[in-house]
Amino acid sequence: MEKRSEASGVDPGLPDVAVEIIALNKWYGEFHVLRDIDLKVARGERIVICGPSGGGKSTLLRCINRLEDWQRGRIVVDGIELTDDPRHIVAVRRDVGMVFQHFNLFPHLTVLENCTLAPIWVRRMPKHDAEALAMRYLERVKIPEQAPKYPARLSGGQQQRVAIARALCMNPDIMLFDEPTSALDPEMVKEVLDTMVELASDGITMLVVSHEMGFARQVASRVILMDDGQIVEINEPKGFFEQPQHERTRLFLQQILR
């Protein structure tokens, strides 16, 4: 169960490259949504992907756990190549947690049941252990008292923290965040970002699609700008924000940092 102890970094058994994306191309019909993406994410890295909407950020993220398929190129996650083979897909999904813009909690289950569902049915963990694990993560996201409630009774920020706890209950090696704060009321953005900052300090590999530039500055190892289906610039946060290399990046930063 304790594949990765609470505060330590990396499982030595895993390859140093967490995610490798090679010459990835994807089309929606005629529309070329991902164009020749190459990206190597080292274990423990925290990548923040930003860029204008419609640029392919979410699509790229969703390819990493194969919620989207693609036409050309390869993706290797934790040393497992994602192919059409459902066993590979499930193996990757077990190790990759995902947090969605709209939380996507299961409304017919309590907060606790949301968190224990996958450990019980995918990891085959006894119910009692799964509940103990879930309570630990709910405490970590600071809402253990909400465990018996149904998601609809929680605020947006609380729901998103439950979604994070739910993903963590699978002890993932990699976490994907797809615009985790975009659907939240401004008052609730901070509580979710705080949770993510804390998570980042644990050394888990994170890929975050977000426009929270403060968060990117604070925790990102590298920041990526995507536009029009391509990676325009990859840089460390300091360089990215202070000396953007690409004209497109400068323009984007001007737009959102005004």
Partner 1 sequence: MTALTDAPPAYLRGAPAAKLPPPPDRAGILAWLRANLFSSPANVALTLICVVLIAWLVPPLVRFLLIEAVWSGDDREACLPSPNNPHPGACWAFIRVWLSYFVYGFYPIGQRWRVDVFFAALAFGIVWMLWLSAPRRDIGAVYFFVALPIASSMLLRGFPPIGLIDVSTTLWGGILVTIVVATVGMVASLPLGILLALGRRSSIPVVRILSVIFIEFVRGVPLITVLFMASVMLPLFVPERLAPDKLVRAYIGVALFASAYMAEVVRGGLAAMPRGQYEAAQALGLTYWRMMLLVILPQALRVTLPNIVNTFIGLFKDTSLVFVVGIFDFLRTIEVARGDPRWASPIVSITGYAFAILFYFICCYSMSRYARRVEARLARRAAIKGS
Nearer Cβ to partner 1 (122/256): 122
CB of 116 vs partner 1, minimal distance in Å: 11
Query: 194 φ, ψ to 5°?
Result: -60, -45
What's the one-letter identity of residue 154?
A: L
CB of 35 vs partner 1, minimal distance in Å: 24
Which residues from 167-206 bind partner 1, rule CB under 8 A?
167, 170
Binding status of residue 159 toward partner 1 by CB under 8 A: no
**Distance in angstroms (rounded) separating the CA atoms of residues 86 and 236:** 36
Which residues from 40-69 bind partner 1, rule CB under 8 A?
65, 67
Strand partners, 193: none
What's the one-letter identity of residue 36?
A: D
CB of 118 vs partner 1, minimal distance in Å: 4
Binding status of residue 96 toward partner 1 by CB under 8 A: yes
Binding status of residue 94 toward partner 1 by CB under 8 A: yes
Interface residue with partner 1 among 166, 168, 192, 252 (CB under 8 A) is 166
Binding status of residue 70 toward partner 1 by CB under 8 A: no
Nearer Cβ to partner 1 (124/128): 124
CB of 105 vs partner 1, minimal distance in Å: 7
Nearer Cβ to partner 1 (160/249): 160
> Long-range contacts made by residues 115-119, C-beta under 8 angstroms, separation at least 24?
115/162, 115/165, 115/166, 115/169, 116/169, 117/166, 118/166, 118/169, 118/170, 119/169, 119/170
Number of H helices, E strands in the chain: 9, 10
- Specify whether the CB–CB gap between 34 and 63 falls below 8 A: yes
CB of 249 vs partner 1, minimal distance in Å: 30
Task: Calculate the CA dihedral of residues 89, 95, 101, 104 and round it to 10 degrees.
Answer: 80
**Distance in angstroms (rounded) separating the CA atoms of residues 45 and 200:** 9
Residues in contact with partner 1 by CB under 8 A are 65, 67, 86, 90, 93-94, 96-98, 100, 102, 104-108, 117-118, 121-122, 150-153, 166-167, 170
